[in-house]
Chains A and B, each alone.
Chain A
Amino acid sequence: MIAVEELSLAIHTTPILRGVGFDIGPGEIFGLVGESGSGKSLTALTLMGLAPRGTRVTGTARLDGTDLLGLSEAQMCRLRGNEIGMIFQEPMTALNPLQTIGAQVAETLTIHGKATRAEALTIARDRLDRVGLSHLPLDRYPHELSGGQRQRVCIAAAIALNPRLLIADEPTTALDVTTQAQILALLRSLVRDDGLALLLITHDLAVVAGMADRIAVMQAGKIVETGPTAQVLARQSHPYTRALFAASAHVPARSPLHVPEPLLEVERVHRHYPGPRQGLRRGPQIEAVRGVSFTLHRGESLGLVGESGCGKSTLTRAILGLDPVQSGDIRIFGRSIVPHMPAGLRAGIQVVFQDPYGSFDPRWRVDRIISEPFHLLSDPPRGENRRARVADALTAVHLSPDDMDKYPHEFSGGQRQRIAIARALITRPKIIVLDEAVSALDVSVRARILDLLAELQAELGLSYLFISHDLTVVRAITDRVLVMQAGQIVEEGPTATVFDAPEHPYTRQLLAAAPRLPMVSEAIT
């Protein structure tokens, strides 16, 4: 159906894609796997004729004989949405906030002149039913829908004209595991029932392992290995495939210290928000955290898992003393931080956030970024002493002390996350809260950061509160785990026990939904 050969692309003079080739047949799911910057998204955009300006493309991409790369922009416009549909990663922003979902699905039909507006709306209704949104009227606006529902609307718009090829670029990366499982199941059924070809682009090996018939592993603009999924995953003949596989399932070597000395105690904490404004009044209040209790001991790594909206971020903010709690108590090192965190305690608990791009001021040098928490100390080190402390922190996270005079943009995502960890270490805290700290990183970078975290924990005797939606990572790095649902802890126990023998139905549902890599012996080496 679609045959791509020798596809190369250069932006100005920098080559980005080098001789990419693959083909996908009707009713087939083809997985394109790679880390960020490997060129997988650009491959898809090139097929759509939507590559950014200033790119030079060579090679061929034949859709049933027609070379897409030779078509004019007007011809491509007729093809997009009609023969090839595409969905993207961020469902929250992928829909026009000012138009109803019905109008946005119907637009695919009307723009191609395939239906009148009234007919298009009827078909839109049918397509929305098809993607499992039969309970939603056409006149809903995107902001009234959840992320998963919005992604379904995007799919409905993409399949409105029954295209032959559907390109899905990280379609579930921004979604929770249970929603991810539903969206993947929907995509699978579309392929099986309608016989369309699916190009599934993802960084997540586990997702393609469970979905694709064939996969291609992409590295630095090249396909390094391709073949039937089971075969590629089993043989892993290319070193990069092996490295990717090992990194995905990476478990850092840890030797848990078990010192039963509570450092952080959370006791029946409730956190409410005022409800949204409804005219002059406020709606019913939102109970984000409902009676949560747990204890974090010295040297322990405690995981907190749950889907978005379960209250884990709210709980984190309360623990960091950023938000007040309505009832209950939080004690750090035996001292209560309710209602206000005593000044001396802040230095003892530090945090690393998810986004290594957004959490630094781009105009600050690394030196200033890392030493910022010093203002928490009553007697902060100054002058040479201060620079020595920053240099130590940089060395601890395996960066060079010379890096302290650089700016954040000079570092990669993984290096920035190391800087964030160095910043958290600078006040020599006992507790570090890791709020989705590795979620935005590529698997190979993630593996190295997890190693670093394990190493720092062993060296410095740190306690981690590890908050994540990613069950694989939580399993790899924590001793004990808390499962949170709708503001409550529904299950708690040693990580291995909870993962191997979950008791609460919600935990079971989460684990079942999480895509898993088939365990292959080579993966361990």
Chain B
Amino acid sequence: MARYLLTRALSLGLSLIVASVVIFALIEVIPGDPASYMMGLNATEENLAALRTELGLTGSAVERYLGWIGGMLTGDFGTSYTYRVPVADLVVDRIGVSLPLAIYALTLSTLIAFPIGIIAASRRGTWADHGIMGATQLGIAIPNFWFAMLLVLLFAVTLRWFSAGGFPGWSDPLAALKALTLPAVALALPQASILARVMRSALIDTLEQDYIRTARAKGLSRGQAIRRHALRNALIPVLTIIGLQFSFLIAGAIIIENVFFLPGLGRLIFQGITQRDLIVVESVTMLLVFAVILVTFLVDLAYALVDPRLRRG
């Protein structure tokens, strides 16, 4: 187990280094001078020079790379060109929205997907299965921004249960959760549909395995065989999808964040790009990469918890 952890952790570190080099190189190869690109045509020479220093564009590529990495390791992400505040502050604010939203959506999606996936698999071929498969097909097909707008129309405009958008901050946790509910539901619907389908097919595969027959021969009922033997085996492919979905949710909520006017990471990076704020783009991208790699690492750990065959490797 310790060896498995060590190899996974090493691979995590290596991935981060490779990713940071790639991001740094991408920013480097943008043609022309990033500073004049950012300030536009009318910038004065002094302003450009000041921005270059601020961007860390002076010195050799290696020095600049190490400076950038070193800054991030000590929490210094640079100062946003458009907002004129440290990027770190911006990011912390935004993570306070994006991360809870992602966790909220993923929790909802798992809570919906697991039971209906299990029901569909254990009643394969019945009307319940067909109904669930049809519903999940619909869930995948509906664009989530459109679904989000429907939610707003129904629950915010007509019923007035939720506000149509905005985020009050975490000073009142209940109000904050309430503000995140509609976006989380909008995000969770397609994710839950996909996850339920994966759960169903993984469980159907598992139920056809010989060890389920062995379990039945020992006197387990169908339900007991599913609970005690099939579920944990089916969890392995499901974990993979959960990991991918979580990574997507952290950064991929751009559209939903825009629909609900949520100050999240997705919107930050979107604004960064439209306003040519390379400092924000560079740092937030690196942060997102870090989040994705970290989630992958956590999924690897979860595999090892589920599957004893991996613990020795």
A interface residues (Cβ-Cβ under 8 A, vs B): 48, 50, 73-74, 77-82, 85-88, 90, 93-100, 107-108, 111-112, 141, 143, 154, 157-158, 276-280
Contact = CB atoms under 8 A, between A and B. Distances in A.
A171 to B, nearest CB: 12
B229 interface: yes
Contacts of B160: none
A48 B233 CA distance: 25
Nearest to A80: B219
Contact of A280 (B7, B306, B309): B7
A88 B213 contact: yes
Which secondary structure dominates where chain B touches chain A? Answer: helix
Nearest to B232: A98
A108 B210 contact: no
Nearest to A44: B217
Contacts of B307: 97-98
A275 to B, nearest CB: 13
Contacts of A112: 219
Contacts, number: 86
Interface stretch (B88-96, B128-136, B220-228): B220-228
| Chain B interface extent, by class | 20 to 34
B308 to A, nearest CB: 5
Contact of A77 (B211, B220, B228, B233): B220
A111 B218 contact: yes
Nearest to B309: A143
B219 A157 contact: no
A97 B216 CA distance: 16
Given A107-B228, A141-B308, A94 B216 contact: no
Contact of B211 (A86, A95, A277, A280): A95
B224 A111 contact: yes
Contacts of A108: 218-219
Interface of B: 3-4, 6-7, 10, 209-211, 213-221, 224, 228-229, 232-233, 306-309, 313
B205 to A, nearest CB: 12
Nearest to B10: A280
B252 to A, nearest CB: 32
A94 B214 contact: yes
B309 A141 contact: yes
A38 B213 CA distance: 21
Contacts of B10: 280
Contacts of A98: 232-233, 306-308
Q: Which of A88, A95, A111, A154 has the most CB of B within 10 A?
A: A111
A162 to B, nearest CB: 14
A276 to B, nearest CB: 8
Nearest to A107: B218
Given A141-B308, A141-B309, A143-B309, A96 B229 contact: yes
A42 to B, nearest CB: 13
Q: Which of B210, B214, B216, B229 has the most CB of A within 10 A?
A: B214
A80 B7 contact: no
B232 A80 contact: no
B218 A80 contact: yes
Contacts of A154: 214
A277 B210 CA distance: 28
